[in-house]
Amino acid sequence: MNEMLMQGQYLRVLSLGCGLYELVFDNQQAGINTLSRPCISEFGDAITLLKDLEGLRGVLISSDHEDFIVGGDINEFDRQARLPRQELIALLDEMNNWLNRLEHLPAPSVVALGGDTLGGGVELALACDYRLMSSSARLRLPHARRGFLPGWGGTVRLPRVVGLDSAIDWICTGRYVEADEAVQTGLAVTAVAPDHLRIAALELLEQCAEGEFDFQALRRHKRQALPMSKLGVRLAVESSRDRIAQVSDKHQPAALQALDTLLEQALLPAEQAMAIETQRYVEVVSSEITPALTSLLRSELRTKHRARAELKKSEFHRVGVIGAGVMGRAIATQAAVKRMRVVMLDAKDEQLIDAVDEIAARLAREVKGKRLDAEERVGILTRIRPTLSREEFARVDLAIEAVIEDPGVKTVALLTIERYLPEDAILATNTSAIPVGGLARGLKRPQQFCGIHFFNPVATMPMVEVVRAAKTSDETIGRALGFAMAMGKTPVVVRDCPGFFVNRVLHSYFMGFLFLVRDGVDPYRIDRLMETYGWSLGPARTLDKLGIDTSVNAGRMLAAAYPERLTFPGESALDRLRSLRRLGRKVGLGFYRYVGGGRLKSLPDSSLSSELEPLAVRHPEVSDREIVERMMIPLKIEAARVLEEGNIASPAEADVALVLGVGYPAFRGGAFYAMNREGLGRFVARCRKYAELGPIYQPGLQLRELAVAGRSYSEWGTGDEA
Ligand code: NAD
């Protein structure tokens, strides 16, 4: 019978008999274990208790939850980032002290890692002598992606356990590491079937307690400098620098700072190395970037929270896609990648043949680039079943329509397919602009119909808009959220309104661009400035990518829906390019000229200025700062209007949609985060400077009222769902 020695809110300590003890992380308040302040305090008590136990022969560390530990508590990050330097150091020292004591317990320790182990959870596991993983477990050190560094010994222990190359890769890219890689690199002793994890960990602990392994040698190794030459360390670091710079956001330097931290301390004994880690951690978190990324992460977790729960409730084995064009084939592929069976219907046989050929060729390129296993490619292709027959939809869990953007064609396609669907299946449309409520008319089960708006390219765009029409039921929204998660996307719920959220806000940003061009400002200068500001593509490059004709059509639709604000007076640069058939990347010429095969390169085109010159009605002096302001203000104002109308539930969700859907620079945290930081009063005053340029520079009533009342969007909470 196990004897309970300590029962806290976050963990417990048990005696297993024969000098073996178990420390179980089991957060009673939530379904996940995080290393929050109160949890760290209990952890300290547990370590103190274990250290002094007489006859201690071994300690097993485990979790009673699906995941081991998912890192520190994100809700504490803001406060920590604002702490004076000495207090922050003291906070890091506290946890480091407990981890050092764990590492120096008089008996060996084994940690059992199931599910996900993230951030601080990995750092805790590294302080143990032996790590055992379940075969489906993963781990990840996401710190650098979130604007900070591991601060609980991760940069010190990891390279000493798995070697410098793997440590650089894992820490600087923040990618997931699967169990087999963890075993290959020596992080984990072995990986076992998930059901067998605890038993295997206990067996290992018994063996350790019997003295079968020299855990003291492992500890000595972790305390020393890396067994490498100075040149070897420099080579490992410098040969990774370009790759790390390429994969990390250039505006977000934490990955490269992590690399420098590894370089600086690799050849020092662990104690001195730890002091360097702490110093660098404090420097990095005092930047503006860390709180912005933290706020964004919190918003993202909040946004995904419900969708995750929905994913657990519903299963999607079989999905139907109607239309095998650009979007239909990409949605079908993504579903098959995520292990769903797909029936892909089109009206034309040749479209289906073309779709299958293109999917096969695209996946072959992935295999060639070593991003996909050859066997998995065959599996994906086998799961997609092209068809001309609607009968095949009789067993789908969800059908998504992606036929051409024409209300008449869509209505017929939806009404027809509904007749073939099982009673409980969900029907969705991927329309980018047609009101979903209108498409629901005539359906027998409008409550089971909604929009699921994927963005192009489906494989890489991280979010979808789930569109709630007037008759859509809560259950349907829930299942659509679950489906989006199953597809690997972050869903944001938006109410049915023209342009939904992403296209509407993006359009107001483009309006800012078109007004600048009308004032004679060079589009290339605007692109350079916005790319420096943090957008991965400037507005002209983005418009070329979306297609000039597609953008003109989207603009017309939005102008018709919001004529008082989103109508461009007179001929715009987009109208001009369209009439010149400069339709963007797809034809090799738009704002830019596109050259090269495969990966197209964009070059400025010398004829552009003379083509646009007649449109310039005035040539005021516009400073760089004004250009950025004139681009960003309309976007923020429109986002605030969507929120004011209740078409999106909360500023947090809007910021997630802005970063993941619109391309707003992540390290700036999102529009609402930025407005809150600036202060709404100051932001509204800044808008006034541009008010005479047009209504896109005039904030809505709610924003003005909040500003006058000295309030901010951070008081909003999560909001009711849109
Ligand atoms: P597309 O023109 O490439 O493909 C449409 C396909 O539907 C064609 O293969 C056509 O043969 C097929 N089709 C037409 N009528 C049909 C019917 N009655 N039954 C079955 N198949 C039929 O179009 P697309 O770019 O894939 O766009 C599809 C939808 O996705 C549109 O609503 C569009 O607005 C939306 N969307 C497109 C993008 C994008 O960038 N292309 C992005 C987001 C959303």
pLDDT of residue 713 exceeding 70: yes
Phi and psi at residue 190, to the nearest 5°? -165, 170
Percent of the chain with pLDDT over 70: 99
334-344: average pLDDT? 97
pLDDT of residue 604 exceeding 60: yes
| Residue 614 DSSP label | G
Please give the C-alpha separations between residue 280 and each of 223, 256, 277, in angstroms, as whole numbers. Answer: 20, 12, 5
Q: Are 534 and 665 in contact (CB under 8 A)?
A: yes
Residue whose CB lies within 8 A of the most ligand 1 atoms, among 353, 393, 404, for a mutation test: 404
- Residue 474 token pair: 């809560």
Q: Which of 353, 403, 502 most suits a substitution to test ligand 1, by most atoms within 8 Å of the C-beta?
A: 403
pLDDT of 556 over the 90 cut: yes
pLDDT at residue 28 above 60?
A: yes
Res 530 pLDDT > 90: yes
Give the per-residue pLDDT at 719.
53
Task: For residue 358, report the phi and psi dihedrals to the nearest 5 degrees.
Answer: -70, -40
CATH 3.40.50.720 in the chain is located at 320-496
Summarize pLDDT for 346-390 with one digit per residue, the tens. 999 999 999 999 999 999 999 999 889 999 999 999 999 999 999
Pair of tokens at residue 721? 């769902």
| Residue 406 alpha carbon to ligand 1 centre in Å | 9
Q: What is the C-alpha separation between 440 and 488, in angstroms, rounded?
A: 26
- Tell me which residue has tokens 């977790």: 301
Do the beta carbons of residue 174 and residue 145 sit within 8 Å?
yes
Give the separation between CA 549 and CA 568, rounded to whole angstroms: 16
Q: What is the pLDDT of residue 44?
A: 97
Global confidence as pTM: 0.89
For ligand 1, what atom is nearest to the CA of residue 348? 11
Residue 722 pLDDT level (bands cut at 50, 70, 90): low
Label residue 718 by pLDDT band (50, 70, 90).
Answer: low
Tally of CA atoms within 13 A in the half-sphere of 551 that contains its CB: 30
Q: How far apart are CA 175 and CA 75, in angstroms?
A: 23
Over pLDDT 90: what percentage of the chain?
89
The token pair at 141 is: 């050190």
CB 672 within 8 A of CB 612: no
Q: Which residues of 505-519 are buried (b: 16+ CB within 10 A; e: fewer)?
A: bbbbbbbbbbbbbbb
Residue with the larger pLDDT of the pair 372 and 2: 372
State how beta strands 138-140 and 341-345 pair: unpaired
- Pick the closest to residue 721 from 385, 467, 342, 393 (CA basis): 467
Question: How sure is the predictor about 162, in pLDDT bands with cuts at 50, 70 and 90?
Answer: very high
- Position 286 scores a pLDDT of 85
Residues 6+ apart with CB under 8 A from 709: none
Cis before residue 457, ω within 30 degrees of 0? yes
Ligand 1: nearest atom to the Cα of 325:
4
**Residue 251: pLDDT band by 50, 70, 90 thresholds?**
confident
Environment class of residue 250 by beta-carbon count within 10 Å: exposed (0-12), middle (13-18) or buried (19+)? middle
| Residues labelled catalytic | 453
pLDDT at 721: 63
Angle at 283 between CA 663 and CA 139, to 5 degrees: 60
Asked if residue 716 has pLDDT above 70, the reply is: yes
Average pLDDT, the chain: 95
pLDDT computed for residue 306 by the predictor: 86
Residue 246: predicted pLDDT: 85
For 416-462, what is each residue's pLDDT tens digit?
A: 999 999 999 999 999 998 999 999 999 999 999 999 999 999 999 99
| Residue with CA at minimum distance from ligand 1 atom 15 | 403
CATH code at 3-289: 3.90.226.10
CA distance 528 to 532: 6
Could you tell me the pLDDT band of residue 720, with boundaries at 50, 70 and 90?
Answer: low
What is the rounded average pLDDT of the residues 126-147?
A: 96
Report, as an integer, the average pLDDT of 655-667: 96
**Cα distance between residue 298 and residue 583, in whole Å:** 39
pLDDT of residue 636: 98
Which residues, including other chains, have CB under 8 Å from residue 497's CB and lie 6 or more apart? Answer: 504, 561, 642, 645, 647
pLDDT tens sequence across 181-213: 999 999 999 999 999 999 999 999 999 999 999
Closest residue by Cα to atom 18, ligand 1, is 413
Average pLDDT, stretch 212-216? 94
Checking if the pLDDT of 107 tops 80, the result is: yes
Terminal CA-CA length for the chain: 52
As annotated, the residues of the chain forming the CATH 3.90.226.10 domain(s) are 3-289
Q: What is the pLDDT of residues 626-641, one digit of tens each?
A: 999 999 999 999 999 9
Q: How many other CB atoms are there within 10 angstroms of residue 692's CB atom?
A: 8
Q: What is the number of H-type helices and E-type strands within the chain?
A: 30, 20
Ligand 1: nearest atom to the Cα of 412 = 18
Contact 121, 69 (CB under 8 A): yes
Ligand 1 centroid from CA 247, angstroms:
32
Backbone phi, then psi, for 176, in 5-degree steps? -75, 145
Collapsing DSSP to helix, strand or coil, 11 comes out as strand
pLDDT tens digits for 63-103? 999 999 999 988 888 788 788 999 999 999 999 999 999 99
CA of 433 to the centre of ligand 1 (A): 13
pLDDT at 581 over 60: yes
Q: What is the atom index within ligand 1 of the atom nearest the CA of 351?
A: 9
Band (pLDDT 50/70/90 cuts) for residue 717 is low
CA 637/CA 647 separation, integer angstroms = 14
383-416 pLDDT, tens digit per residue, is: 999 999 999 999 999 999 999 989 999 999 999 9
Structure tokens at 121: 């959870």
With a cut of 90, say whether residue 1 has pLDDT above it. Answer: no
Instruction: Report whether pLDDT(290) > 90.
Output: no
Pairing of strands 449-454, 463-468: antiparallel
398 token code pair = 């969800």
Model pLDDT for residues 679-702, shown as the tens digit of each residue: 999 999 999 999 999 999 999 999
Q: Helices 349-368 and 326-337 meet at what angle, rounded to 10?
A: 50
d(CA 384, CA 379): 9
Q: How many angstroms separate the alpha carbon of residue 362 from the centre of ligand 1?
A: 19
By the 8 A CB rule, do 189 and 132 touch?
Answer: yes
Query: Six-digit token pair at 551?
Result: 């953008």
- Is residue 118 packed enough to be buried (19+ CB in 10 Å), middle (13-18) or exposed (0-12)? buried
pLDDT digits (tens, 9 = 90+) for 460-478: 999 999 999 999 999 999 9
Query: With left for phi above 0 and alpha for psi between -120 and 50, is residue 599 left, alpha or beta?
Result: beta
- Which of 431, 432, 453 has most ligand 1 atoms within 8 Å of CB, for mutation? 432
Residues in the chain: 722
Residue type, 505: V
As a whole number of angstroms, the distance between CA 516 and CA 697 comes to 13
Which pLDDT score is estimated for 138? 97
How many whole angstroms from 336 Cα to the centroid of ligand 1? Answer: 19
**Ligand 1-lining residues (CB < 6 angstroms):** 322-328, 345-348, 351, 402-405, 409, 413, 430-432, 455-456
Q: Is the pLDDT of residue 664 over 60?
A: yes
CATH topology of domain 503-584+611-715: N-(1-d-carboxylethyl)-l-norvaline Dehydrogenase; domain 2 (1.10.1040)
Task: For residue 323, report the distance from its CA to the centre of ligand 1, in Å.
Answer: 6
- Sequence ranges of the chain with CATH classification 1.10.1040.50: 503-584+611-715
Task: Please state, in angstroms and rounded to a whole number, the distance separating the CA atoms of residues 284 and 277.
Answer: 10
With 90 as the cut, is the pLDDT of residue 512 above it? yes
Topology classification of domain 320-496:
Rossmann fold (3.40.50)
